[in-house]
């Protein structure tokens, strides 16, 4: 006979609470939400927060997630918007925050509230091609390999510690749209993989180095 007091079942461990930030079509956010629906997922999405009405907000609403829109235009300056965004996300009490296509730079108040707990994706192999036009810049530079990066967010633009990267070949006839679409496929898989590791306590941060156990 198994002594029940000596066994901790998988069902007794609550999934890690995660808040998503998203601004656009929501394909990244949707992949994270869909993966959270798996019975063995180590995380659960507790809310989606955006800076605008968008498809990401609509999809989250359709699957029953709380959504909040914090519009920059509703606040006197960027600092005030950042404080309100911080307040809104804080109320959900997430262990991790995931920027899944969120097209705003997070300020010091927000990052100070969730230090080392904000994850972002970028469609290039950082530190190459940071910024909003990474795929276009990679094509213009003439690289034959690019890819995607999942990293922790710091106060810079795409400068936080790298957690994981995957390469994507650039084809001779690629346009920005075709290359970006292939990167997105890899990016969605990598983000779910990294978030699952984070939610399971398998990320170990040492300065700029992030190890997964």
DSSP at 54: -
The radius of gyration of the chain from alpha carbons, rounded to an integer in Å, stands at 18
Yes or no: say if 51 and 75 are a contact pair by the CB < 8 Å rule. Answer: no
List the one residue out of 96, 102, 119, 110 whose CA is nearest residue 45: 96
Pick the catalytic residue: 122, 133, 151, 211?
A: 122
Sort strands 118-122 and 145-152 into parallel, antiparallel or unpaired. antiparallel
Q: Which residue(s) pair with 67 in the sheet?
A: 48
- Sequence-distant (6+) residues with CB within 8 A of 203 are 163, 194, 197, 210, 211, 212
Query: Is 122 one of the annotated active-site residues of the chain?
Result: yes
Yes or no: say if 162 and 151 are a contact pair by the CB < 8 Å rule. Answer: yes
CA distance 6 to 20: 36
Residues marked active site are found at: 122
């Amino acid at each position: 006979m198994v002594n029940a007091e000596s066994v901790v079942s998988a069902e007794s461990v609550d999934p890690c609470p995660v808040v998503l930030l998203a601004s656009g079509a929501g394909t990244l956010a949707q992949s994270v939400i869909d993966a959270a629906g798996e019975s063995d997922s180590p995380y659960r999405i507790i809310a989606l927060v955006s800076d605008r009405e968008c498809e990401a907000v609509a999809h989250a609403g359709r699957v029953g997630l709380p959504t909040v829109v914090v519009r920059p235009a509703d606040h006197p300056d960027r600092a005030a918007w950042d404080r309100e965004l911080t307040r809104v996300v804080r109320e959900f009490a997430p262990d991790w925050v995931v920027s899944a296509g969120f097209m705003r730079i997070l300020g010091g108040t927000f990052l100070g509230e969730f230090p080392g707990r904000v994850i972002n994706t970028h469609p290039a192999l950082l530190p190459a091609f940071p910024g909003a036009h990474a795929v276009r810049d990679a094509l213009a530079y003439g690289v034959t390999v690019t890819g995607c990066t999942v990293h922790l967010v710091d106060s810079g633009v795409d400068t936080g510690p790298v957690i994981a990267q995957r390469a994507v070949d650039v084809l001779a006839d690629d346009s920005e749209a075709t290359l970006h679409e292939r990167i997105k496929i890899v990016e969605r898989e990598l983000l779910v993989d990294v978030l699952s590791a984070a939610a399971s306590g398998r990320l170990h941060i040492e300065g700029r180095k992030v190890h997964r156990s």
